[in-house]
Structure 1
C-alpha cells in the first residue's frame, strides 16, 4: 500500500473535535520526527503543530496550512477504516488535507529548496476557530510566513481538477444562537403565559425577511435556522426556546448589516412577547480572499502540467477560517477535485484517494518554483 494512503486511513480512524486533537497531534508528531531532523524545527501550539524546514539560501518563508479536526457526525461509509470514535468523522476531508501536507513536507525534507518552509497543522477549523488565535500566537509571530497556501477537497469535481479564482472564494460566516425566555404554563390557560414556541416561530419567519428586504439583490447572503428546540411536553406552554443557525455573506459590510437587523428583530420579539432574549454569534470566520497576483502565478505554474485541469470557479457560501490568515498574509486556497458521490459534512463522504498524489504533485511543483525565486 502507498504509505500516504495508510497515513490517510490511520488519520481517518481518529477524528477529534476542535482543540481535542490529542491523538491526531501525537500521530503527526510521530511521523514528522521519523524524518531526517537536520533541517526541521517543531513547535506545538495547543493541539496543533508548526513545523519549519530550513532552506538552503532563504530569502523568504513559504507557509502551507492544513486543518486537523473532525466533525460531530456518525460515519456511515462502511469502510474498513471507518472512524473508531463514536459520533466523530472526518466528513470535511481534513484527513486528506493532513496527508497531503505530510506528503509535501516529506518531499521538501528530502529535496531542499532555497527558501524556508512553514507547515501549519491548525486545530479547530470546524469550531470554535483555530486560525485567528494561532496566527496571533507567539509561535506564529516568530515564524510568520511571507506567503501562505491551503486547499480544500471538492467532492463535485473529478480527480485531477484544481478549481480556484482570484479574489473572493469563500464567504464570511457567523454562527447564530438565540435563546428566548418567557413565562410558561398550562396549555389550557395560554392567556397567563408568554409562549416561547410561538415567539421562536415568529422570529424565524421575520429573520427570512432580512435577506429579501435588507440586502442588495445584486449581493448574496444567507440566514439559515437549522435547529429549533423548546418546550417539554404537549400540554405545557413553553417557557424557553432556542434557535441555532448560520449567517453567510459575500462581504464584511453585509455581515454587519445582517447582524444589525437580527439585533433589531430580536428586540422587537422581546417587546412583542414580553420575554427576554440573548443572542450569541459564536464563531465568525473572515472571507477567503485569494491574492490576485499570487493566484495568477499559481495558475500559470500549475497549468503547464497537461495532467492537471485548472478551472475558474465561482465564489461559494462555504466558510473557512483560513480567511484570517489570508487577511494578513498573501496567498491562496484552491478546491481539489476528489470525485465523491456524497458531499462535505455528509456521513457517507468518501473521497477518491487518487487525489492525494495529485495535490502533492501540484503543491511541490509550485512551491519549488516559488521557493527558488526571490520575491
Structure 2
C-alpha cells in the first residue's frame, strides 16, 4: 500500500516527536509545552488554520483539501488525539523516560499526539481530499473532561464538524491490528464518596457503640448485591469500593469511616438503575445500623457509543490499512473515555490500534510501541481521504 510506504518514511520524525513528548509529560489542562509543540508543528506543516486555547489548552489544526465538497457530501471530519499524561512514577528505564518525577505517559497519549501530527504533515502535503480535515489535540482526558471543555468553547460549531473520530492504543492487541465495535465500546464512570458517622468507643464495649467499621463492611457487601441482584444478568455493571479509611488504634471503635469507589455501566438505563439502588441501599443500611451515612454520587464520563454508519466507515478503513484478517470486533471495555462527549455531539467512532504485548495502560512499566506508528498514522490519513473523497 503506497501510503504505508510514505508513512514509513515519516516514521523516524513521528517517533522523535513521540519520544520528546514522552520525556516531558504534563497533566490535565497544564499541557502548555505539549500544546505549543503541537501548534508549532502544525504551522510548520502549512495548516490553513491553527487555533489554540480551546478548552483552555486544546489545539486545533485545519487542513483544506484540493477540491471543495460536492452537494450532499460530508464537508468536515474531525480527528481527535489526547495530550495529557498521568501522575505515575515511570518505571521503564528507557533512554527517553520522563524527566519529571511523578509524571509519565502511562496511557500512550504521547503516541496518539505524534500519530495525528504525522497524519497532519502528510495531509498538508498531499491534500488529496475534498473538504476540511480538522485535527483536534485535546487536554485533560485523564479525569478532567477536556473533550467537554473544548465542546463548550465551540469546537463543533466553530469548525462546522460533521463527523468525529477517535483512536486509542490497545495493549494486548498485536501490532498491525485494530479492534472496534458498534454501540457501547467504553463505559460510563461515576464516583461514590461515603461518610459513615457511628458512635465510637472502647473495643471491649461494642454494645455501647455504633461501629463504623462494621457498618462500612455491611455497606460494601450490600452494594455488591446491586450488580448481582438488581442488574439484568445480560447487562453489565461494576461497583468497586477501593478505599476504606477508619480508625487509628486497635482497641478503639472509630466514630467515623470513609469509603470511596467507582461505578461503571454501559447503558443510560443501567446507569440510572444503579445510581437509584446505591441511594436506596445506603439508606437501608443506615436504618438497620443506626449510623448516619452521607453519600456524594457524582456522574463522570458518559458511555462511549459508536454510531453504526461511522463504525462501518472506520472498519473499512482499518481493513484497508491492516488487511481483512487484522480488524476485529471487540467486546466493550469497562474503562471510560471522554471522547464520549464528542460522540454525543456528533456522529463518529472510536477504534483501538494494537500496541502489542506491552504493559497495561496506567502501569508504571507501560510504553507506547513505536512500531504501531505506521498503522495508526495511515489509518488517520485514509480515514480523511475516504470520508472526504475528492
Q: How high is the TM-score relative to the length of structure 2?
A: 0.89
Q: Give 1:256 shift.
A: 0.7
Counterpart Cα distance in 2 of 1:27 and 1:304: 31
Q: Give 1:175 shift.
A: 2.4
Counterpart Cα distance in 2 of 1:71 and 1:282: 21
Unaligned runs of 5+ in 2: 1-10, 70-74
RMSD of Structure 2 on Structure 1 (CA): 2.1
**Which residue, out of 99, 113, 117, partners 1:84?**
99
The range that moved more, 322-331 or 273-282, is 273-282
Give SS of 1:160's match: coil
**2:253 aligned residue:** 237
The range that moved more, 143-152 or 282-291, is 282-291
| Residue pairs, 1:18-37, within 5 angstroms | 18-37=28-47
**Which residue, out of 192, 199, 224, partners 1:183?**
199
- Judging by fraction of residues, say which structure has more helix: 2
Give SS of 1:219's match: coil
Partners of 1:340 and 1:352 within 8 A in 2: no
The range that moved more, 274-283 or 244-253, is 274-283
Counterpart Cα distance in 1 of 2:37 and 2:250: 49
Residues 35-76 of structure 1, C-alpha deviation per residue, up to 9 Å, x if partnerless? 335x12313121222222233444411101111222222221
Structure 1 residue 134 and structure 2 residue 144: aligned? no
Counterpart Cα distance in 1 of 2:100 and 2:299: 25
**1:214 aligned residue:** 230
Counterpart Cα distance in 1 of 2:82 and 2:138: 5
Structure 1 residue 355 and structure 2 residue 372: aligned? yes
Give SS of 1:243's match: strand
- Figure out how many residues of one structure are paired with residues of the other and give that number: 372
Partners of 1:115 and 1:371 within 8 A in 2: yes
Give SS of 1:34's match: helix
Structure 1 residue 260 and structure 2 residue 276: aligned? yes
Give SS of 1:304's match: helix
Q: Give 1:192 shift.
A: 4.0
Residues 80-117 of structure 1, C-alpha deviation per residue, up to 9 Å, x if partnerless? 21222222221111111111111111212222232112
Structure 1 residue 41 and structure 2 residue 50: aligned? yes
Partners of 2:43 and 2:50 within 8 A in 1: no
**1:275 aligned residue:** 291
Counterpart Cα distance in 1 of 2:192 and 2:97: 31
Counterpart Cα distance in 2 of 1:312 and 1:71: 29
